[in-house]
Amino acid sequence: MGNKYGTHRVIEPKGSLPQPALKISNDMDIFDNEILIDVEYLNIDSASFTQLKEEAKGDLEKIKTKIFEIVEMKGKMQNPVTGSGGMLIGTIERIGDALRNRIDLNEGDKIATLVSLSLTPLRIDKILNINPDIDRVEIEGKAILFESGIYAKLPEDMEDTLALAAFDVAGAPAQVKKLVKEGNSVLILGATGKSGLMCSYMAKKMVGKEGKVIGQARNKARADFLRSTNFCHEVIIADVLNPINTLEETLKVNNNQGVDILINCLSIPNTEMVSILPVREGGIVYFFSMATSFTKAALGAEGVGKDVTMIIGNGYTKNHAQITLDLVRESEILRKIFEEKYIK
């Protein structure tokens, strides 16, 4: 029996949990309370893949080499710059004896893990393909799910890759459902991306007739696309690396008032202040972006004298997988966008 949280696999530093650990064991001989997965796809976290792509200047062979290096060094796919991972799809190869009668899985079931690759023991034997447009890496390899690890069986009414794309950001719309109340004004940064679209759709459901959802896009083409979805009441074109520009564009469409809630769905660093400035005093900033710096956010809010509640995006909230799949089923537009982009 191993520790339910996976501490038995931590090599360095001893006593650490697997996610913050520098190195974990990716020996694929499982303990009695572990699950062995035959992996098909890795969905690399957006912030992580963006960093890998920029470092490699878009060279896919260099990205492959870097992924191999990370997994060899750490025993898991955890970007050393962003600290983030992603998730995977695979088939259950073996279930530890201690778990066989305690979980609703059988060997041969296909699942998506809902825990980060940054804590998942992983062995990559071969990288078959990389799709840089959707941050997906097709591999031959194995992974291990700890006793505490959460997962979702792949639904029968949609393609595996579509479900994976939805699961990858499941925490965001589920958290938005909890945070946003009727009548709120909400600004979503990165509203044209995967998590941004889902958050926009969910926020519009939650704010009702008296509320307002404002979506940010980086250029006219993305803004036109976002308007075509009708997921937002207002769409602004703003530079997220220019906080004053974003603040001014937000005030123009929100009666010269700060918003009640801001959702950061961006995949680039240095967007802390652009998330804080447009929010009213006493409002909420929700950082779903894995590129967020706690230091920059905390000291930045202090520096501009903003009393706002700042929430770190938790990739898990109760029933988040079901909530997210139901959004895809409910919205024909959302499903069509995801099918066109992610079923490849």
Per-residue three-class SS string for 189-250: ECCCCHHHHHHHHHHHHHHCCCCEEEEEECCHHHHHHHHHHCCCCEEEECCCCCHHHHHHHH
pLDDT value, residue 271:
96
Write the pLDDT tens digit of every residue in 178-237: 999 999 999 999 999 999 999 999 999 999 999 999 999 999 999 999 999 999 999 999
Write the pLDDT tens digit of every residue in 280-293: 999 999 999 888 99
pLDDT value, residue 102:
87
**Ranges assigned E (strand) in 97-170:** 110-113, 122-131, 136-145, 151-153
Mean pLDDT confidence for 79-94: 94
Contact of 44 with 81, CB cutoff 8 Å: no
Q: Which CATH class is domain 171-338?
A: alpha beta
Q: Which of 290, 37, 44 is nearest to 146 (CA)?
A: 37
Mean pLDDT over the full length of the chain: 95
Mean pLDDT confidence for 79-92: 94
Phi-psi region of 113 (alpha: psi -120 to 50; beta: other; left: phi over 0): beta
Give the Å distances, CA to CA, from 268 to 116, 117, 189, 240, 265.
Answer: 19, 19, 11, 9, 9
Write the pLDDT tens digit of every residue in 96-121: 999 998 888 999 999 999 999 999 99
Q: In the predicted model, is pLDDT for residue 168 greater than 90? A: no
Mean pLDDT confidence for 259-266: 97
Domain boundaries, the chain: 7-154, 171-338
For 31, half-sphere exposure in the C-beta direction (CA atoms, 13 angstrom radius) is 18
Q: Which residues contact 210 (CB under 8 A, 6 or more apart)?
A: 182, 183
pLDDT value, residue 74:
98
Q: In the predicted model, is pLDDT for residue 344 greater than 80? A: no
Write the pLDDT tens digit of every residue in 286-315: 999 888 999 999 999 999 999 999 999 888
pLDDT value, residue 341:
84
- How large a percentage of the chain has pLDDT more than 70? 100
- CA 177 to centroid of chain Cα atoms: 16
Q: 22 φ, ψ to 5°?
A: -75, -35
Q: In the predicted model, is pLDDT for residue 128 greater than 80? A: yes
The pTM assigned to this predicted structure is: 0.82
Q: How big is the chain by its Cα radius of gyration, in Å?
A: 20
User: Could you tell me the two tokens for 214?
Assistant: 């404002």
User: At CA 120, angle to CA 169 and CA 107, rounded to 5?
Assistant: 90
What is the band of 55 on the pLDDT scale with cuts at 50, 70, 90?
Answer: very high
pLDDT value, residue 101:
86
Mean pLDDT confidence for 5-20: 96
